[in-house]
Chains A and B, each alone.
Chain A
Amino acid sequence: MGTLNKYRLSTWFKTPMLVALAILLSACPKPPQEALDAAEAAVLAAEGRKDCAGEKFAAAEALLEEARAHVQAEEYEAAERKARAAERLAREAQQQADETWEDCQRRLEAARRAAEGTGQPQTTETEPQEPQEELKLTTVHFPYNSAEISETSRQALETNLRWLRQNPDATILLEGHTDERGTSEFNVALGERRARFVRDFLVQRGIKADRLSTLSYGEEKPVAFGQSEDDFARNRRVEFLPR
């Protein structure tokens, strides 16, 4: 509940545009687009970790679906409530996955081996050298005002590196972003540094440079619209976008 209250406070009091929007909404009903967008962004952001936060992620996805259904039925208040709940759950899912990432990866790996062990005969003559992992590209996050990364982000980067090796024909746009603090021109430069840091990391590990392009939006395209440290942290990122 504590996190819930904190989240509500930060949303409702620190982003007056939302307040204004809410007033507007009560006057003339419109779909709660911002809440839906935020929920969608949060669900998307958590998707890469859904195997490690199964229930919460599934619940968030379901809530988002319900919110969309409410919009169809023009029940905007219910839609907004559901969208906000979906966003909160998706964030919690992501956080839970982040906290238990290593254990979870080990568990998943063990489960995969077990499944292969029972599903395959003992003698493996025509077995490919390595079983294909189910990998997903994930977003890499950065510390404040920095173009270098933390250990968690390095793991995300390693996952993306394996994905790139699995998909040798794929080309990727590395999209660099910053939080809203600071000023826009410097932040475009900082977002570009982040994207280039990631590109250099991958090139050093054998990915061909012509498969990777970079683009920075600076602070212009946030995924989290609040003003909490958590929101800022989620916006400091490099996204991996297949082209």
Chain B
Amino acid sequence: MRPLAPTPRHRRLRRSASALIGLCLALTPLYASAQDAPPSGDTATEGDLSGIEVEVSGSARRTLLPVAVPDTQALAGADGAIADQVEQTLRRNLDLAGYFRVLPVDSFFFDTHNEGLAAADINFPNWMNVGAQGLVKSSVRAEGDQIALDLRLFSVDQGRQISLNWSASTLSPDDVRKEVNAFINAVIEHYTGQPGFFGSRIAYSQRTRSGAKHIYVMNIDGSGVQRITRNNAINLLPSFGPGGSIYFTSYQDQNPDLWVWRGGSVSKLSSRSGQNSGAAFCGGKLAVTLSLGGDNTDVYLISPEDGSVVQRLTDHWAIDVSPTWSPDCSRIAFVSGRSGGAHIYVMNADGTEQRRLTFQGTYNTTPEWSPRGDRIVFSGRDERNHYDIFTVDMQGNIERLTQDQGNNFEPSYSPDGRYLVFTSDRGGQGKRLWLMSADGLFQKLLTEEGSSYEEAAWER
């Protein structure tokens, strides 16, 4: 099985290098390594995923189900381009989901194009011989200007179609991709007990060569990219508000002001002299970072309607930034420099009971509370000055999710908490967006084209 991440030789090198550095700096490493981290176990194994174990990251192993996706059949004069789109979306997104190994098409030693979509027409022993456990068959048929889309999942060893929480339909060509993603979500639900994340969106920023930086939103599978900011300024730190609105900070008017984008139009929400950033919305409340009245940055609640200050939550001479809500909107985690460096703190939603949560490392920033509420994910700088992604539970126990893969920043959870999107400069092509399972075992490049992507936020 081809390992997705370092070859054994690399790992040996890295291990000896890190051992050396460890000896030089301190005998006790500041963070537990990924290998030492206890397996979280609750992410991938909820359903009946009986696949094969493959190496996914370092020496970590994860079970991936081998699935065959033969070419989509174009019937009754259907546009071949639509069939291509269906098979490509199926392959790419099943791969991206992190539960499957999509078998290469050139390993199919028999003609797949004349085999029907009914279980009786399928030669299951052939599919068994290419190593498939799951088989996804698909066809598109033209019906006037509509497309009849048929997608089916089969269990190869049981030789039967699996009934899914999804049914075939006739629809506009524009909706085909969306419907294929709904099918994939149902396939994931079958194997894991919970539907997949396709159809959800992320907002992110991307720097241009002229020095401007724009806010974009796109579907998690990379489709439907939409540019939010139309100015030529530096725009940063997008986050989602109610009803698909997007908060961001922009230097359009020569001050880092907080703007909000709603249904195609933008307006300024907070434009106090100094910093207006880090908007986090929860249950009608909006937490932000302000340097109000010439003071150092602190965390405030402001009105989501007119931006007026509702309450000041922190009041400290050190930097306080980056609020993030617990899922029930009762508590806020944030970053403070009050103990030197930067650390993650938590407090009640009214600013009371502020306490420090991270005691390892010296620079822990960009926290985000998990949708399950039990952990906070953040980017931290380790003892070797690498930036990596960690989580911390409410008792302060830290787990490492990335290691020896460039610098990794700005993690954001999927709505169901099973995945994270994050920024990484691994691969030597600048900053790009990556996806990983919440246990860090499965990691995959999301933005295959371009560079200078940052600050992704997943819509919940």
Contact in complex: A186, B322 (CB < 8 Å): yes
Given A33-B209, A189-B275, verify A183-B409 contact (CB < 8 Å): yes
Q: By the criterion CB–CB under 8 Å, are A220 and B366 in contact?
A: no
Residues in chain B near residue A221, CB distance under 8 A: 211, 234
Determine the distance from Cα of A16 to Cα of B234 in the docked complex, in whole angstroms: 22
| Of the residues B451, B452, B454, contact of A184 by C-beta under 8 Å | B454
Q: Is the CB of A192 within 8 A of B209?
A: no
How distant is the Cα of A127 from the Cα of B337 in the complex, in angstroms?
A: 53
Is the CB–CB distance between B256 and A184 below 8 Å? no
Docked Cα-Cα span, A107 to B289, in Å, equals 49
- The answer, yes or no, to whether B107 is at the interface (CB within 8 Å) is no
| Interfacial chain A residues near B234, Cβ < 8 Å | 217, 220-221
B452 & A17 in contact (Cβ 8 Å cutoff): yes
Judge whether B438 is part of the interface by a CB distance below 8 angstroms. no
Is A145 a contact partner of B319 (Cβ separation < 8 A)? Answer: no
- Does residue A216 face the partner (Cβ distance < 8 Å to B)? yes
B98 to chain A, nearest CB (A): 26
State how many angstroms separate the Cβ of B107 from the closest Cβ of chain A.
33
Asked whether B335 is an interface residue with its Cβ less than 8 Å from the other chain, the reply is: yes
Chain A 175-234 residues near chain B, CB threshold 8 A: 181-186, 188-190, 192-193, 196, 213-217, 220-221
Residues of A within 8 A of B265 (CB): none
CB distance A185 to B366 under 8 Å?
yes
A193 and B433 alpha carbons, distance in the complex (Å): 30
Question: Chain A: which residue is nearest B428 at the CB level?
Answer: A16
**Taking the nearest CB of chain B, how far is it from the CB of A211, in angstroms?**
15
Question: Considering the chains assembled together, what is the distance between the CA atoms of A236 and B225 in angstroms?
Answer: 34
B237: interface (CB < 8 Å): yes
Q: A214–B234 Cα gap in the complex (Å)?
A: 17
Interface flag for B418 (CB, 8 Å):
no
Are B451 and A189 interface neighbours, CB within 8 A?
no
What is the bound-complex CA distance between A21 and B249, given in angstroms? Answer: 29
Contacts of A99 in B (CB 8 A): none
- Contact of B365 with A186 in the complex, beta carbons under 8 Å: yes
Interface string of A31-52 (1 = CB under 8 A from B): 0011000000000000000000
Taking the complex as formed, is B8 at the interface, i.e. its CB lies under 8 A from any CB of chain A?
Answer: no
With A and B bound together, what is the CA distance between A25 and B88 in angstroms? 32
- How far is B235's CA from A217's CA once the two chains are assembled, in angstroms? 11
Whether the pair A182, B363 counts as a contact (CB closer than 8 A) is yes
B192-221 CB mask vs A (1 if < 8 Å, else 0) is 000000000000000001010100000000
* Nearest B residue (CB) for A219: B236
Contacts of A34 in B (CB 8 A): 209
Chain A residues with CB under 8 A of B209: 17, 21, 33-34
Residue contact B251 to A217, C-beta cutoff 8 Å: yes
Residue in contact with A188 in the complex, picked from B213, B277, B337, CB distance below 8 Å: B277
| Nearest A residue to B254, CB-CB | A215
Provide the bound-state CA to CA distance between A181 and B454, in Å: 13
Q: Which residues of B contact A15 (CB under 8 A)?
A: 430
Name the A residues within 8 Å of B322 (CB-CB). Answer: 185-186
Taking the nearest CB of chain B, how far is it from the CB of A236, in angstroms?
15
A185 to B239, CA, bound (A): 13
Residues of A within 8 A of B430 (CB): 15-17
Q: Is B291 an interface residue (CB 8 A)?
A: yes
Residue-by-residue, is A8-38 near B (CB-CB < 8 Å gives 1, otherwise 0)? Answer: 0000000111001100000000000110000
A182 in contact with B365 given A189-B321, A192-B297 (CB within 8 Å)? yes
B389-423 to A contact mask, C-beta < 8 Å, 1/0: 00000000000000000000110000000000000
Chain B min CB distance to A194 (Å) = 11
For residue B278, CB closer than 8 A to chain A, the reply is yes
Whether B72 sits at the interface, judged by CB under 8 Å, is no
Chain B residues with Cβ below 8 Å from A185 are: 237, 277-278, 289, 321-322, 335, 365-366
- Taking the nearest CB of chain A, how far is it from the CB of B238, in angstroms? 11
Q: Are B296 and A193 in contact (CB under 8 A)?
A: yes
Q: Closest Cβ of chain A: how far from B449's Cβ, in Å?
A: 11
**B376 contacts partner chain A, Cβ-Cβ < 8 Å:** no
Most chain B CB neighbours (cut-off 10 Å) among A213, A216, A220: A220
Bound Cα distance A216, B257 (Å): 12
8 Å CB interface, A128-186 against B: 145, 181-186
Min CB distance B313 to A, Å, is 15
In the complex, chain B residues 418-443 whose Cβ is within 8 Å of any chain A Cβ: 428-430
Q: Provide the bound-state CA to CA distance between A21 and B429, in Å.
A: 12
Given the known A-B contacts A17-B430, A189-B289, A216-B275, are A184 and B297 also in contact in the complex, defined by CB atoms under 8 Å? no
Cβ-closest chain B residue relative to A190: B319
Q: Which residue of A lies closest to B236 (CB)?
A: A184
CB distance from A88 to the nearest CB of B (A): 22
B454 to chain A: closest residue by CB: A184
Per the bound structure, the CA–CA distance linking A191 and B4 in Å amounts to: 39
Q: Min CB distance, B420 to chain A, in Å?
A: 15
Is residue B90 within 8 Å, beta carbon to beta carbon, of the partner chain? Answer: no
Chain A to chain B: the 4 pairs with minimum beta-carbon distance, closest first: A189-B319, A189-B297, A183-B365, A220-B234
Q: Told that A16-B451, A185-B277, A221-B234 touch, could you supply 19 new A-B pairs with CB distance under 8 A?
A: A15-B430, A17-B451, A145-B341, A183-B379, A184-B454, A185-B321, A186-B321, A186-B322, A186-B337, A186-B342, A186-B365, A189-B291, A192-B275, A192-B291, A214-B274, A215-B255, A216-B275, A220-B234, A220-B251
**Which residues does B use to contact A, with CB under 8 Å?**
209, 211, 213, 234, 236-237, 249, 251, 254-256, 273-275, 277-278, 289, 291, 294, 296-297, 319, 321-322, 335, 337, 341-342, 363, 365-366, 379, 381, 387, 409-410, 428-430, 451-452, 454-455
9 cross-chain CB contacts under 8 A = A16-B430, A182-B342, A185-B278, A185-B289, A185-B365, A186-B321, A188-B256, A189-B319, A215-B255
